[in-house]
Amino acid sequence: MSKTQTLPDFDWDKADNRGFGSGYSDEERNRLSELYDNTLAQVNEKEVVIGTVVGITDREVILNIGFKSDGLVPASEFRDLPDMKIGDEVEVYVENQEDPNGQLVLSRKKAKVITAWQKIQRALDEDLVIEGFVKRRTKGGLIVDIYSIEAFLPGSQIDVKPIRDFDVFVGKKMEVKVVKINYANDNVVVSHKVLIEKDLEAQRQQILNNLQKGQVLEGVIKNMTNFGVFIDLGGVDGLLHITDISWGRISHPSELLHLDQKVNVVVLDFDEDKKRISLGMKQLQAHPWDSLQEGLQIGSKVKGRIVNVADYGAFLEIMPGVEGLIHVSEMSWSQHLRNPQDFLKVGDEVEAVVLTLDRNDRKMSLGIKQLTADPWSRPELVEKYAIGTKHKGVVRNLTNFGLFLELEEGIDGLVHVSDLSWTKKIKHPSDFIKVGEELEVIVLELDVENRRLALGHKQLEENPWDTFESVFTPGSVHRCTILSKNDKVATLELPYGIEGFAALKNLQKEDGSWADVGETVDFKVIEFSKEEKRIMLSHSKTWQEKGEDRKPEKRQAVAKAPATSSKEPERATLGDLDALAALKEQMEGRSSKGE
């Protein structure tokens, strides 16, 4: 017979059928909850936290960030950590504590970006030096990777000296400083130059403290302009002006120098306040004038190259640093000064004669015309330009009193305004002829000693006033045209193209009206002066005197008959008509040539 075990009585009243964990008292429940909460970290969304790698698969990395669940991150975001293993800690960004599937969503990519910007901002705030990787070159500079953020390094911020080949920096690491951040455009600007400048500051200050005039330094040409070159003296720049490069004349520094060239220079001047240094290179060599040959003197012939042409002359370089001025008046025997560029241009190789030489002031004047004989010294000149000989020349200059005519190179003559025409009163030569035109003349006077030649144009013809004296006799009537009027007199055109004058009061017509400009009416000669070449006439006299004696007015016969006449004019003899016809022919021929 088996023994029966007696179990203690079960207290069914204490039994609770509400489920697992429901048998804890409030005190016990709070204690257990506190123990559990202490095992979890406080995690907020949209922030970067540290996670521990607890699992690695081909596609994902499992991270524990101390939250109630682990997070999954694509393995592609850890390509930069090929040696990552379980237990490593990495920064991740909490995107979502719980997605629709109840999964914690993390991102290492976003964590890297946020952390990078935080580091960049810290580098700017604290003026830190950071290391970057030059990925590629771009327009105006380089793209540098810092904390996986692409930053721009301008070409001017690479080095203290100009960089002409950016490609040498691509693929290399470089220390930089952040100088500007633009969050709106996700733009970062960095500089490597500031690091170099800081290193050079002490060196620059040392150079400036020891700098003095006359000191010879070695430098490197860092920049070149049309007015000179800038030379790096080891942290401080100096200007070598183009005029201090060579004793000879150059148009651009590149003719003798090139970029990155090492040169020796001497300190010419130094401004401590503005820290400006003027340098010289030619001063390291002796002045060429000091080595000028002793045999060179006034009258010597020299050869050289034209290095400059100005309005007043040209400069001839006979050796580097030694120049002489050829004044425009010494380029040709012609008394008519022209533009020096009509004779010479830069680069011409010419020969000249030394006219003046001052070795102390280092000045020299030269001449080209002296290579040929003075045309006024030729023995045949007196015979060639004897008084009465006829010549043709070119008008070179016009003045109020006449014109200068060039008969040949170096031989000019003056034609006075009064010697241009027998019949017209010419106020200015420009009314008769223009510069550059040819004119036929006759020699009136020759003075070889004073280089003067007086010429005349009207003397090529006989003086028509000898004939006019018998044609325009006082009392004779002629058909005239009124050319112009002023306050006192009117100018008339008489037959044969000569001019006469009439007082305004003598323009009244018989009907009481007044003759005006452009009208052609009869005029009576009231005064004739052969010496002054003046004829005074009156229209009023033609009808006033008729009324007094009622006699027909005598009109002098002329080659050009009047258009209308109420009275029969006095007839001229056959000889007078022949002479006047010949004179008219001569005057018309002269008019077609010059007037």
Q: What percent of the chain has pLDDT over 70?
A: 80
Q: Give domain status of residue 505, yes or no.
A: yes
Which comes out higher in pLDDT, residue 435 or 551? Answer: 435
What is the end-to-end Cα distance of the chain in Å, rounded?
177
The predicted pLDDT at position 492 comes to 92
The predicted pLDDT at position 104 comes to 74
Residues near 494 by beta carbon (within 8 Å), at least 6 away in sequence: 472, 478, 480, 500, 535, 537
Residues 200-248: tens digit of each pLDDT: 666 677 777 777 888 888 888 888 899 999 988 877 788 999 988 888 8
Residue 366: pLDDT above 90? yes
Task: Please name every residue paired with 480 in a beta bridge, in sequence order, or none if there are none.
Answer: 521
367 and 384 assigned to the same domain: no
* pTM of structure: 0.43
Residue 141: pLDDT above 80? yes
Q: Give domain status of residue 336, yes or no.
A: yes
250 and 226 assigned to the same domain: yes
367 and 383 assigned to the same domain: no
Give the residue from 460, 486, 507 where a domain finishes: 460
Closest of 406, 409, 410 to residue 395, by C-alpha? 406
- Domain containing 319 — which CATH number? 2.40.50.140
Q: Residue 214, exposed/middle/buried by CB under 10 A (0-12, 13-18, 19+)? A: exposed
Residues near 426 by beta carbon (within 8 Å), at least 6 away in sequence: 417, 420, 432
The predicted pLDDT at position 10 comes to 54
Which of the residue ranges 38-42, 349-353, 554-558 would you say has the lowest mean pLDDT? 554-558
Q: Give domain status of residue 584, yes or no.
A: no
The predicted pLDDT at position 85 comes to 79
For residues 155-178, give the mean pLDDT: 83
Q: What percent of the chain has pLDDT over 90?
A: 18
The predicted pLDDT at position 33 comes to 59
For residues 331-347, give the mean pLDDT: 81
Q: Give domain status of residue 393, yes or no.
A: yes
Quickly state the pLDDT bin for 162 (edges 50, 70, 90).
confident
102 and 142 assigned to the same domain: no
The predicted pLDDT at position 523 comes to 94
- How many domains does the chain contain in total? 6
Residue 558: pLDDT above 50? no
Residues near 185 by beta carbon (within 8 Å), at least 6 away in sequence: none
The predicted pLDDT at position 108 comes to 77
The predicted pLDDT at position 340 comes to 87
The predicted pLDDT at position 552 comes to 46
The predicted pLDDT at position 148 comes to 81
Residue 595: pLDDT above 70? no
The predicted pLDDT at position 563 comes to 37
Q: Give domain status of residue 6, yes or no.
A: no
182 and 138 assigned to the same domain: yes
Give the residue from 519, 538, 557 where a domain finishes: 538
Q: Give domain status of residue 544, yes or no.
A: no
Quickly state the pLDDT bin for 14 (edges 50, 70, 90).
low
Which comes out higher in pLDDT, residue 588 or 299? Answer: 299
Average pLDDT, the chain: 79
Residue 386: pLDDT above 80? yes
The predicted pLDDT at position 570 comes to 40
Residue 502: pLDDT above 90? yes
For residues 171-197, give the mean pLDDT: 85
The predicted pLDDT at position 559 comes to 39
For residues 249-254, give the mean pLDDT: 86
For residues 386-411, give the mean pLDDT: 89
167 and 234 assigned to the same domain: no
218 and 192 assigned to the same domain: no
453 and 477 assigned to the same domain: no
The predicted pLDDT at position 372 comes to 84
Q: Are 402 and 417 in contact (CB under 8 A)?
A: yes
The range of the structural domain enclosing residue 504 comes to 470-538
Query: How far is it, in rounded angstroms, from Cα 240 to Cα 269?
Result: 11
Quickly state the pLDDT bin for 34 (edges 50, 70, 90).
low
Residues 503-557: tens digit of each pLDDT: 999 999 989 899 999 999 999 999 998 888 889 999 999 888 765 554 444 444 4
Query: How far is it, in rounded angstroms, from Cα 283 to Cα 244?
Result: 7
For residues 317-331, give the mean pLDDT: 88
Which of the residue ranges 127-141, 217-231, 284-298, 315-329 would you say has the lowest mean pLDDT? 284-298
For residues 186-211, give the mean pLDDT: 77
Q: Give domain status of residue 289, yes or no.
A: no
Give the residue from 236, 251, 284 where a domain finishes: 284
Q: Which of 73-82, 291-300, 323-332: highest mean pLDDT?
A: 323-332
Quickly state the pLDDT bin for 90 (edges 50, 70, 90).
confident
Instruction: Let me know how long the chain is.
Output: 595
Residue 564: pLDDT above 90? no
Q: Are 495 and 459 in contact (CB under 8 A)?
A: no
The predicted pLDDT at position 538 comes to 94
Q: Which of 160-164, 485-489, 541-545, 550-554: highest mean pLDDT?
A: 485-489
Q: Give domain status of residue 18, yes or no.
A: no
Phi and psi angles of residue 330, each rounded to the nearest 5 degrees, phi first = -100, 10
Report which secondary-structure segment, H or E, holds 315. Answer: strand 313-319
